[in-house]
């Protein structure tokens, strides 16, 4: 069994005397077609967002302002990734528990998603998540 838990992209920064531009193209720069974009900001201090996994959704998270941290958990190992540069993209595949925390006051977390919003794709209970991934037919 092999789970792609995370992949960190360092998107190309196109710099000139005016500043910096970062372009991200579906399929070419990230491994899916983008069906949805959402972003979060004004996240209160000490708040933890996420705390769920997805059965199918794949996403790339980019902190386009400020910084935040992401905890990734595949049911066996946990890892924390700091998103503290505007050109870093964190890929999160399916079947990964995620928690976002330590948002800076100016943080804007942008998410590129492979699917339309679907509430039935969420696993919001940690024990259910462990059960789900331990039934081998759900993870390939």
Binding track, positions 79-118, relative to ligand T46; x by CB under 6 A? -------------------x------------x-----x-
Contact between 83 and 70 under an 8 Å Cβ cutoff? The reply is yes
The active-site residue out of 6, 49, 52, 69 is 52
Three-state secondary structure readout of 38-53:
EEEECCCCCCCEEEEE
- Indicate whether 31 belongs to the interface with ligand T46 (CB under 6 A): no
Q: Residue 16's Cα: distance from chain center in Å?
A: 29
Q: Which of residues 43-72 bind ligand T46 (CB under 6 A)?
A: 49-50, 59, 61
Enumerate the β-bridge partners of residue 22: 13
- Distance of alpha carbon 78 from alpha carbon 98, whole angstroms: 10
Q: Is 52 annotated in the active site?
A: yes
Q: Which residues contribute to the site for ligand T46 (CB under 6 A)?
A: 36, 38, 40, 49-50, 59, 61, 98, 111, 117
């Amino acid at each position: 069994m092999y789970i792609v838990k995370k992949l960190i992209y360092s998107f190309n920064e196109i710099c000139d005397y005016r500043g910096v531009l970062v372009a991200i193209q579906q399929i070419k720069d990230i491994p899916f077609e983008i069906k949805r974009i959402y972003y979060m900001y004004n996240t209160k201090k000490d708040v933890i967002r996420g705390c769920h996994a997805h059965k199918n959704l794949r996403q790339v998270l980019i902190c386009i302002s400020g910084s935040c941290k992401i905890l990734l958990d595949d049911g066996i190992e946990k890892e924390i990734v700091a998103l503290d540069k505007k050109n870093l993209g964190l890929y999160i595949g399916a079947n990964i528990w995620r928690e976002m925390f330590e948002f800076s006051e100016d943080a804007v977390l942008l998410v590129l998603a492979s699917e339309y919003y679907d509430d039935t794709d969420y696993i919001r209970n940690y024990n259910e998540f462990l059960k789900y991934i331990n039934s081998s037919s759900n993870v390939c």
